[in-house]
Structure 1
């Protein structure tokens, strides 16, 4: 999407966005000179090293190396993809996203549907407090051990009995009823329209940004189904959403592990007892989209299933879905509950720490894979082991290169009777999900000029147009320097954040961001920045001049050398000899 949104829109969006206000709405910032500081949200620290610059509209952590624009902050802190971060900033700035593609096709805005869902959620919450028959819902929640606070955190509500509560409140016109149908709040049968959710405890389903996209309802009386979800709608796709993910991300900025459980009440009951990093799929098996969401949210996921046959079959399906994504960047484990237990009853009996200890002992992906195959085959015979190894190979072939594939290949080698050295030893990988600080490396002359320019775009105006030999430099990165200066000639007023965002789709975007906060920049006084940059360009000019002269000179015959060129060579040789003589 970055390449399809006009760069001018991103420029305007970042100009209208105050990064201090944005980050200050999520972190406690304090003034520190002309900048602001806070404890970094991306790594644990006691002394604030996270700095926000209002001048550059850029943030940087001197502890872990995290850095970026307002877009980058939303992507990392709110766990959003680039398009979602841009959309969120545009919404806050009151800007309409431009059409993407060369032949824009107008699609209806879903904003009215999101607004309608929020209004419905508010109505359901109010009924839980005020409706005469809501006491049955309240009693049920109390029996499950839920407090009023946790019910409020998850926005629980109550849908009264009857067929027209929502219809009467939000569907007075034909247009309004059309939107209610589109959202799945009402249904239609034989020309009659009626509320989908009736006499049910209501669980709002929020996407990762916090917008209500659907509802789940638990029936209080007799009848079926006991649990009912919204149907697929323009804003809700059950194969993508995870119940409780927004609440988990809101409570804990740095989630170490996410536990996938079966239903709403499991998620809420675990949160009630302090286990705030549980999510649930919505009446469907785990999908690749679910795993992509989980991959962006935590370095470890633990599938939690009942220990019966149905639970193990569901776990096996989840494993098969996970295999193509199991590169080892994220730990994947499987927890099977004791007979007769569910997450709710187990955490009541063991407490938070006891439940967390049980989660930590979950089986690894490779252990579960081979244990499951062993249950289906004959491990006692050589032929049986070879058959299991053959089945394992079919599954391992679906896995990308990485630690899980290496571990699985090692287990398979043992089954086949191969020596332990038949597969490469798996490498240890970091479990950290936050930005990792790397040691600063010395920068080349070109890289220094680029770093100075990225951090201080106004320096572009100091470049002389009379001597632009540096544009012909073949040094690595010279082409980027040329593009930067050409870009700044067209947009001399652009700031650091907007300038860097124009390079987001470039293969070296991460490197450009890193050198824009390189430690050498901090050693240059503000009044010396211009001289430092002009000096780099001047040295690059001289370096290019020498290389071009040498190349042209070496391409000619000795007999074609002029007297001036011969004299110059003699001078260079004498100077080199003098330098050697001065050496000890």
Structure 2
């Protein structure tokens, strides 16, 4: 048995994917929002029986290895090694050259994380930063959980350490650990005399770092610049530590800073992540949408925080998240709030968080005098686009009624204003399969053949005994669909006695997963023979049609001998088609 087969036999694909996507039981399978495209309705299916996943939206599919490759951007070998570790199978990666550069970057950052952490916890240099963290209420076990560290004030301490460990200056520069002065060429450490916050992905690798000064000097925070592995807008700080709690509660609290996230976590509020002080991005929104239904924004209580709330909520709503806003007035940020009032009071604020439209309505009503014409126009211009994004008309009407009541505006007038604001409202039409069904009813053999080829391939993929029956009947050229033909050829070359069947080509692997996941057929020899007969009948019918066209041409040209040959051949084909139809009562020759 091959290593990959051993790994896949031990891996539970539902357990694996549940680490990334919130899954719900649906019959024999599990469904969720696809992590590979902007999925608003669950189109992502996972089969525990077949140990496969497939998205009916973007057509991505495959096994556990393929999922990990796609979600973590790993090579086949790297995904196999990571899954091996998950199930206790040791796989030697010493000879693996694929993505070696990326792997070296991960290893270096992980080494730097341990280095900074050691300095903080085990050396005299860490005494002052430990005291600083203690004054901020951060306990030792929390420091360990988040792998906090300290960068000494030296200009080249990290650089020298990494050089001793064999890490080149080029790698250090690629990771943003050192800075090269453009004028003098001088090289120095980026992080100096700062508390270090490792930014860790959900696999446990460090992608980058945040650094905070111990005093009030500026800049207070600095971060790793964009690198090949660190894309700030694609990452949420703390997700590695908090993802399970977020999925368990089906709720994510978003804060701005590292310390906000850490303080809430330490206080027992563990369903929290930080946007790291930047504008919230679509990519971050998609990450949260896949693992939580309820998203609560708890940004700093200042003007900048108000602006960030609106931008962040808009992004989250665009990707289909249910967004609520938590606001308070006394404390500047969640860290200060929870340290002064405790987690219970903070959770009361979270539980009372307002839906986004309620929050915006209150904000804009306070900003504009809707009793005046000018104020009303300004209000409409800001609130109507938000209200229009609400798909339920009843919800739209309830907000319009509330506005009418607050502004003493006749409801009918407000309804008309809202409708006029979007007079060119677009209508969406669902594409149905009626036309495809009509082709089938008219005997469209191309469409029918495509379906039968697909069903034949489903049998070949389902069981070796079915594959052997098909091999005796059809060569690869029976498949008019090139991808199906390529998969069938791979099956013919497969040594099933020694290894499990797998295809490394992404496109073909997705098709295999799609066929395995979507075919709801009875896998029996009788149904297989029925499929073979149907396909043979269509092939014969196609041949008969081609010969009939050739016969008409021969008749026009007066080629009597060729006409006789064609008539005999066509009659023979008709008999074969009739025989199949009589036996199966499926095809009218």
Provide the TM-score with structure 2 as the length reference.
Answer: 0.65
CA distance in 1, matches of 2:285, 2:139: 31
**Equivalent residue, structure 1, for 2:79:** 89
1:149 to partner: Cα distance: 2.0
CA distance in 2, matches of 1:26, 1:470: 39
**Equivalent residue, structure 2, for 1:416:** 417
2:208 is equivalent to residue 217 of structure 1: no
**Equivalent residue, structure 2, for 1:117:** 109
2:440 is equivalent to residue 453 of structure 1: no
CA distance in 2, matches of 1:204, 1:468: 56
**Equivalent residue, structure 1, for 2:441:** none
CA distance in 1, matches of 2:216, 2:197: 19
CA distance in 2, matches of 1:40, 1:226: 33
Indicate how the Cα distance of structure 1 residues 71 and 333 shifts in structure 2: closer, same or farther if over 3 A, else same. farther
Q: CA-to-partner distance for each residue in 1:51-82, whole Å, 9 max, x for gaps?
A: xxxxxxx983369996751135537xxxx637
Asked if structure 1 preserves the Cα contact closer than 8 Å seen for 2:327 and 2:349, the reply is no
Asked if structure 2 preserves the Cα contact closer than 8 Å seen for 1:255 and 1:297, the reply is no
2:258 is equivalent to residue 264 of structure 1: yes
1:467 to partner: Cα distance: 7.3
Within the candidate set 240, 249, 267, 1:246 is matched to 240
Asked if structure 2 preserves the Cα contact closer than 8 Å seen for 1:306 and 1:338, the reply is no
CA distance in 2, matches of 1:255, 1:510: 31
Gaps of 5+ in 1: 1-11, 28-37, 51-57, 100-107, 427-443, 525-529, 580-584
Indicate how the Cα distance of structure 1 residues 466 and 202 shifts in structure 2: closer, same or farther if over 3 A, else same. closer
**Equivalent residue, structure 2, for 1:60:** 47
**Equivalent residue, structure 1, for 2:142:** 150
1:285 to partner: Cα distance: 1.7
1:154 to partner: Cα distance: 0.8
CA distance in 2, matches of 1:114, 1:315: 33
CA distance in 1, matches of 2:500, 2:546: 39
Structure 1 stretch displaced more, 131-140 or 84-93: 84-93
Gaps of 5+ in 2: 31-44, 55-61, 83-90, 401-413, 429-450, 553-566
Q: CA-to-partner distance for each residue in 1:490-546, whole Å, 9 max, x for gaps?
A: 55658455399653555xx76524236x5845xx6xxxxx56534542355357768
**Equivalent residue, structure 1, for 2:191:** 197
CA distance in 2, matches of 1:354, 1:239: 31
Indicate how the Cα distance of structure 1 residues 229 and 59 shifts in structure 2: closer, same or farther if over 3 A, else same. closer
1:308 to partner: Cα distance: 3.0
**Equivalent residue, structure 2, for 1:287:** 281
**Equivalent residue, structure 2, for 1:103:** none
**Equivalent residue, structure 2, for 1:19:** 8
**Equivalent residue, structure 2, for 1:533:** 528
2:334 is equivalent to residue 343 of structure 1: yes
Structure 1 stretch displaced more, 166-175 or 131-140: 166-175
**Equivalent residue, structure 1, for 2:503:** 498
Q: CA-to-partner distance for each residue in 1:366-387, whole Å, 9 max, x for gaps?
A: 3344444434433223553344
CA distance in 1, matches of 2:458, 2:253: 42
Matches within 5 A, 1:316-331: 316-322=310-316, 326-328=318-320, 330-331=321-322
CA distance in 2, matches of 1:114, 1:186: 16
Indicate how the Cα distance of structure 1 residues 504 and 299 shifts in structure 2: closer, same or farther if over 3 A, else same. farther
Indicate how the Cα distance of structure 1 residues 24 and 380 shifts in structure 2: closer, same or farther if over 3 A, else same. closer
Q: CA-to-partner distance for each residue in 1:436-469, whole Å, 9 max, x for gaps?
A: xxxxxxxx97765443333225632322655789
**Equivalent residue, structure 1, for 2:161:** 169
CA distance in 1, matches of 2:19, 2:162: 45
Matches within 5 A, 1:437-448: none
Asked if structure 2 preserves the Cα contact closer than 8 Å seen for 1:270 and 1:278, the reply is yes
Find the residue that maps to 2:365 and give its secondary structure. Answer: helix
2:199 is equivalent to residue 182 of structure 1: no
**Equivalent residue, structure 2, for 1:35:** none
Matches within 5 A, 1:542-561: none
Indicate how the Cα distance of structure 1 residues 65 and 510 shifts in structure 2: closer, same or farther if over 3 A, else same. closer
Asked if structure 1 preserves the Cα contact closer than 8 Å seen for 2:105 and 2:175, the reply is yes
Asked if structure 1 preserves the Cα contact closer than 8 Å seen for 2:210 and 2:223, the reply is yes
1:121 to partner: Cα distance: 1.2
**Equivalent residue, structure 1, for 2:358:** 367
1:122 to partner: Cα distance: 0.9
Structure 1 stretch displaced more, 350-359 or 160-169: 350-359
CA distance in 1, matches of 2:229, 2:471: 54
1:256 to partner: Cα distance: 1.7
Find the residue that maps to 1:109 and give its secondary structure. Answer: helix
CA distance in 2, matches of 1:221, 1:405: 53
Find the residue that maps to 2:168 and give its secondary structure. Answer: helix
Find the residue that maps to 1:498 and give its secondary structure. Answer: coil
2:312 is equivalent to residue 334 of structure 1: no
RMSD over aligned Cα, in angstroms? 5.3
2:197 is equivalent to residue 206 of structure 1: no
Provide the TM-score with structure 1 as the length reference.
Answer: 0.66
CA distance in 2, matches of 1:373, 1:157: 43
Indicate how the Cα distance of structure 1 residues 216 and 408 shifts in structure 2: closer, same or farther if over 3 A, else same. farther
Find the residue that maps to 1:286 and give its secondary structure. Answer: coil
2:298 is equivalent to residue 298 of structure 1: no
1:314 to partner: Cα distance: 1.9
Asked if structure 2 preserves the Cα contact closer than 8 Å seen for 1:457 and 1:488, the reply is no
1:483 to partner: Cα distance: 6.2
CA distance in 1, matches of 2:128, 2:479: 79
Indicate how the Cα distance of structure 1 residues 390 and 491 shifts in structure 2: closer, same or farther if over 3 A, else same. same
Asked if structure 1 preserves the Cα contact closer than 8 Å seen for 2:159 and 2:178, the reply is yes
**Equivalent residue, structure 2, for 1:232:** 226
Indicate how the Cα distance of structure 1 residues 332 and 500 shifts in structure 2: closer, same or farther if over 3 A, else same. farther
Find the residue that maps to 2:132 and give its secondary structure. Answer: helix
CA distance in 1, matches of 2:172, 2:495: 50
1:206 to partner: Cα distance: 1.6
Find the residue that maps to 1:18 and give its secondary structure. Answer: helix
CA distance in 2, matches of 1:24, 1:540: 34
How many correspondences in the alignment?
Answer: 492
**Equivalent residue, structure 2, for 1:33:** none
Asked if structure 2 preserves the Cα contact closer than 8 Å seen for 1:500 and 1:513, the reply is no
**Equivalent residue, structure 2, for 1:8:** none
Asked if structure 2 preserves the Cα contact closer than 8 Å seen for 1:69 and 1:501, the reply is no
